[in-house]
Structure 1
Amino acid sequence: MDDPLLNPLGEVLERVDARLLSPEEDARIWPTGFPLLDDALGGGLRAGGLNLLAGAQGEGKTTFALQIARGVARVGRPVLFFSFELEAEVLLQKVISAEAADLGFEDGVTVYQVRAAFEGTDDTDGGLPERLRRYTGGLDALEKVASYAQKMLIHRSTTTQTNLGVIATAVKDVITEFGEPPLIVIDYLQKVRPLEAMNEEESVTAVTEGLKDIAIEYECPVLALSASDRAGLEPGQRMRARNMKGSTALAYEADVVIVLANKADIVARHHLMYAGDNGEHFRNYSVMTLEKNRSGRAGAELEFRKDFGRGRFEPDGAVVSEKLVDERVFTE
């Protein structure tokens, strides 16, 4: 048949069988690098899937997405990261520090120290290798990052220029360069410019549908960060998928919806009352709630310890054992 949009099931069966018999049988799955999350997702992010990550500002959405991107590039697969808020150098600083931590250096170089080296404010002479050598794990991390840096592409995106057409063109360029589709990260969805003038709800709907189309057309996963609406940020309110800013199309079109929250904000009150430190240690953890999952089980509530000083979450998390609540009533 000449129509590329028609897929006879016989050809689909042959294609799947050929893929399973090839060395690249996992080519349609991108592991996240968080074993518990991968298990809940059925292996990781899937080709053709739109994955949304929502949460309050400062909760680590960019750090989480960057950690997934780093893991994908580290195993030799391309990543296309559309960054509307942070420069490539800032993201790279986080990557280097996180890599030192992953290499096992417990007192490894921090994001602050890497930033000082980048800006030349560390009272050291020389280039980046000479400056990072003075910090524990700095040079090792730099060498590790250099081994996959060409596969990790940062697109400096702007709300005035970066639209779905720009995103699609960049994806095609990456496929041409590397011969395979990339993991696409959008940081974040509400800042993608619509192709024509429209109100916020129409814009978010169009962008969401467009990103889904891109994921399907180029057979790659899209991981898009989403802002919260005002209701999701109210004190005592636990953010849910319905609180993603802009449109009901977000939750409807997405294949996976993950909501990130500070554990101290959503754990049941009695856990706070009886904790030895009044529950302060809960603030060191983020809870990832898998609110929607078309390829596995939904409802999983996983916790991961924050290590933001080194630009990452600790990847070996745990299933939340405490009772969580939808809303907490605050009294004077």
Structure 2
Amino acid sequence: MAAEETNELLGNVPLPYSLEAEQSVLGAVLLDPGVLTQLLDVLKASYFYLAQHRAVYTVMVRMFSASQTIDFVTLLDALKAEGVYDEAGGKAYLLSLMQMVPSAANAMAYARIVEDKYYLRSLIQVSREIIGAAVQETDDVRAVVDMAEQRIYDIRQDKQGTGLHHVKEVILETYDRLKKISGSDKKDFLGMSTGFSELDRYIGGLNPSDLILLAARPAMGKSAFALNIAQNVARAGGKVAFFSLEMSAEQNVSRMLSAQARIENTKLRTGELAADEWVRLAEGADTLSKCPLYFDDTSGITVPEIKARCRRLHELDLVVIDYLQLMSSGRRIENRVQEVSEITRSLKIMARDLDVPVLTLSQLSRGTESRTGHRPQLSDLRESGSIEQDADIVMFLYREDYYEQNEENHNQATCIVGKNRHGAVGDIPLHWDGMHTEFTAMERVHAGA
């Protein structure tokens, strides 16, 4: 890119704003302070371009919150106390605000103009940052693209802290949530079911913004368990994004077809299917193809890339990542523990930003191998760093017959809830069907399901 073009792009382009709209909003509040009850839902002080207008609106909001009367005299006094205006300048400007507003009834229309101009200014400022980063050519190209998409997304979300809330407000919100989850349509407000009723009782289902970690030693079946949960959610109509860094999308779907059609997984690999199995396979494929389930088998994917792809899907109900140790931070970090810690923090932030549960698989260290019983525990989390701290729920998958087989433990498995911010910890017994790579609840097995 030529230097002249770069300078032109990065030049001091005038930022858009509407002086008339900003003045009309403030004038409308002076004429009818009651309009603030509506304005506060859409308008923040930072949306005003002129510093003096930001100051006036800030004082108005503070007076309104304190139930103080807002009129020409009281506002002028407050502005003088803040040092915004002197006596003469304040009188003249406040009078001009009141005289120029066309109608206080149109305050919301003026506020929308102020808001729109704010978003345009934000877009211009972010565009300058993106152009600057691209022109420098010093960062990783993927990192620049991820940064650009995230900054644009932040504008759309208008990400700002929600601030402090009095306990009374939170209690009212809590009561409202309790009414919803105890009513006749409670299924619409509860977390998505994992398909394992006892696990749902422990963790309350798959809830938005939760980072859920499923950890196990290799060959315990954690990928299969994650696929089972994803399939259960998708069968119930939930939209699922499954990021597989270890196996291809075809391998994962083959496993799901094995469970859906009740055909041994080995037969799907060799193609040695009987006539009736081809029929079951077609039926299973038809059922599975109707599920809102999406696969991405990009190796070494980063959290920003996952977030960007999830945003394009819209209205997700679950994100599954298989698995943590194969992810990349996209940055050069020599210490792998620090890198994994950064990834887990980013995953938790992603879960909150997307407002969706994120189920992430993780390897366990060899510590389980040296212990009697081999039962996993939180200290076994490989390259742990902040994994345990960032996760809302930590689950372990354990099969005793992997180490020592006998008639009592044959095909038995346990999902161990080792950490649960929302409730109790404990063991959930499962049945492992290796031929169909499927876990089922023990009550279903006893019931002959």
Q: Which TM-score bucket, shorter chain as reference?
A: 0.7 to 0.9
2:253 match: 92
What one-letter code is carried by the residue in structure 1 that aligns with 2:303? L
Structure 1 Cα separation of the partners of residues 255 and 347 of structure 2 = 26
Matched, 1:285 2:412: yes
CA deviation after TM superposition for structure 1 residue 259, in Å = 0.9
Cα contact 1:174–1:182 (8 A) shared by 2: no
Cα contact 1:233–1:239 (8 A) shared by 2: no
Could you tell me which of 171, 185, 188 is aligned with 1:26? 188
2:140 match: none
Identity of aligned residues (%): 27
CA deviation after TM superposition for structure 1 residue 230, in Å = 2.6
Matches within 5 A, 1:197-236: 197-198=332-333, 199-234=335-370, 236=372
CA deviation after TM superposition for structure 1 residue 4, in Å = 4.0
Structure 2 unmatched runs, 5+: 1-39, 45-157, 445-449
Cα contact 1:36–1:317 (8 A) shared by 2: no
- After TM superposition, the score normalised by the length of structure 2 is 0.57
Could you tell me which of 198, 210, 213 is aligned with 1:36? 198
CA deviation after TM superposition for structure 1 residue 68, in Å = 0.4
CA deviation after TM superposition for structure 1 residue 139, in Å = 2.9
What one-letter code is carried by the residue in structure 1 that aligns with 2:395? I
> Structure 2 vs 1, CA of residues 265 and 83 (structure 1 numbering), >3 Å: closer, same or farther?
closer
2:319 match: 184
CA deviation after TM superposition for structure 1 residue 228, in Å = 1.1
Matches within 5 A, 1:137-216: 137-148=280-291, 151-159=292-300, 162-175=301-314, 180-198=315-333, 199-216=335-352
Structure 2 Cα separation of the partners of residues 13 and 170 of structure 1 = 36
> Structure 2 vs 1, CA of residues 28 and 134 (structure 1 numbering), >3 Å: closer, same or farther?
closer
Matched, 1:51 2:192: no
CA deviation after TM superposition for structure 1 residue 39, in Å = 1.1
What one-letter code is carried by the residue in structure 1 that aligns with 2:317? P
Structure 2 Cα separation of the partners of residues 88 and 132 of structure 1 = 26
1:275 match: none
Structure 2 Cα separation of the partners of residues 295 and 256 of structure 1 = 8
* Secondary structure, counterpart of 2:242 in structure 1: strand
Structure 2 Cα separation of the partners of residues 4 and 165 of structure 1 = 17
CA deviation after TM superposition for structure 1 residue 157, in Å = 2.2
> Structure 2 vs 1, CA of residues 136 and 16 (structure 1 numbering), >3 Å: closer, same or farther?
farther
Structure 1 Cα separation of the partners of residues 207 and 200 of structure 2 = 11
Measured against aligned partners, the alpha-carbon deviations of 1:150-195 in whole angstroms (never above 9, x if no partner) come to x111111212xx11110110110111xxxx1231111001111013
Cα contact 2:217–2:365 (8 A) shared by 1: no
- After TM superposition, the score normalised by the length of structure 1 is 0.76
2:36 match: none
* Secondary structure, counterpart of 1:45 in structure 2: coil
Structure 1 unmatched runs, 5+: 101-107, 124-130, 267-271, 273-277, 319-332
Which of structures 1 and 2 has the bigger CA Rg? 2
More helix by share: 2
Cα contact 2:429–2:442 (8 A) shared by 1: no
Matched, 1:112 2:239: no
1:252 match: 389
Structure 1 Cα separation of the partners of residues 175 and 289 of structure 2 = 35
> Structure 2 vs 1, CA of residues 22 and 7 (structure 1 numbering), >3 Å: closer, same or farther?
farther
What one-letter code is carried by the residue in structure 1 that aligns with 2:282? L
CA deviation after TM superposition for structure 1 residue 140, in Å = 2.5
> Structure 2 vs 1, CA of residues 194 and 317 (structure 1 numbering), >3 Å: closer, same or farther?
farther
Structure 2 Cα separation of the partners of residues 27 and 84 of structure 1 = 32
What one-letter code is carried by the residue in structure 2 that aligns with 1:112? T
Cα contact 1:52–1:223 (8 A) shared by 2: yes
Cα contact 1:132–1:139 (8 A) shared by 2: no
> Structure 2 vs 1, CA of residues 280 and 316 (structure 1 numbering), >3 Å: closer, same or farther?
closer
* Secondary structure, counterpart of 1:282 in structure 2: coil
Structure 1 Cα separation of the partners of residues 191 and 198 of structure 2 = 15
